[in-house]
Structure 1
Amino acid sequence: MSIHSESIITVEDKGIKAKFINEDNLDYVLIQVDGCVVKEGRRADFVLRKNEVGDLIIELKRGNVEHALHQIEETAKLWNDNKISNKIAGLIVCTEVPRVPTKIQDAKRRFFKMFRSHLTIKTGVREYKFVDLFKA
């Protein structure tokens, strides 16, 4: 777990990155889930927390978006079951998305139904406004 207040907060794993705009240089907490908080089973790479907004579950993936979806869902279940946060959202950053767009839409609907929260799936390095990912 680490505190970040940089104007751009970068989360990276195996060359895949997500960047978060922090215009006011507020404190964010970055939690490495995979291998630290959870050592076994399916789990997302990170959770980025901003007080007053919520916890963003992040999976950075080269391929196999379906596996990434399961990792995000399992981490969201863990967060819900243990009441770690009352507001969550999910972000998958990958190098490619499935060619069947209905799979992505179905996954987003399932995530919303299960957790009453939003799931965003994007390719490539992008800059995100943290709060927007909870409204997507």
Structure 2
Amino acid sequence: MSSDLEKIDKFLSKHHVLTLATSNEKELSACSLFYVFDKVKNSFVVASSEATTHIQNILKNPFVAGAVVLETKIVGKIEGVQFRGEFLLLEDETLKKLYFKKFPYALAMNPKLWQIKINYFKMTDNTLGFGKKIIWQKS
């Protein structure tokens, strides 16, 4: 894993909620989802019902964007990750186990799990200098 991806993974491992943006031909949607991130598969794992607007959008258009941010008013501490990827029904048992390890109470709800395969990250990290950006794109 490149040092850029290691920095992104380190940031993502400190958080657990992402904001997801979806669209279909006529509608946009944004939502917040609990996540676990797998740095080896470069994927988020999230749980969501097919009845939601964002999943209905995804069933028509699986390409999504989103963000994970540190909420702070201190400019020198601003950090955040923006991402783009493809949203798919999760079939990987290893990723399922990873999600339930982080959120064991979710087992009782028997949620439908999904995978977001990341193809682009942009991280802003003011702790490295004002406006410092780290860009990673899948080759």
TM-score tier, shorter chain, comes to under 0.3
Q: TM-score, normalised by structure 1?
A: 0.28
* TM-score, L = length of structure 2: 0.27
Rg larger for: 2
